[in-house]
Structure 1
């Protein structure tokens, strides 16, 4: 998948789980960290973990797995690193 396809798929998964303030920001010309940042908010620890699970499930079905996942245990923030896309 291209970085744009990964970002679009992540946005779709977040939207289905009622993520708030969803943004996909193309940063390829600004940094070498990633091509896209996808950002969303949740209203509780439970919803934040559900948002994370939805993104992982959707992208795994499309053959993409995160290189790293941070913050899931606390549930107040989560970072999913797909290399070219950070959610």
Structure 2
């Protein structure tokens, strides 16, 4: 859908860019090296001190169980993705 919008606006979208856009934040299977790198970066980008800081401030310095569960799932998914990443 995003590619169609860009193309309607006259933007010429290369296969590499289309692959990145279509697989950004998804469980898709990027075909290009660039698409794979972007997908990997997207999966691990949540590992950022700012995310933890926001959660801690919101809860007076404590994390709720559901937030810990969410962070654990995200970290586990990111690690699985890194292990499978084609180098």
TM-score past 0.5 threshold: no
Greater strand share, 1 or 2? 1
Q: What is the TM-score normalised by the length of structure 2?
A: 0.33
Q: TM-score, normalised by structure 1?
A: 0.33
Q: Which fold has the larger relative contact order, with Cα–Cα distance below 8 Å and residues 6 or more apart in sequence? A: 1
Larger % of helix: which?
Answer: 2
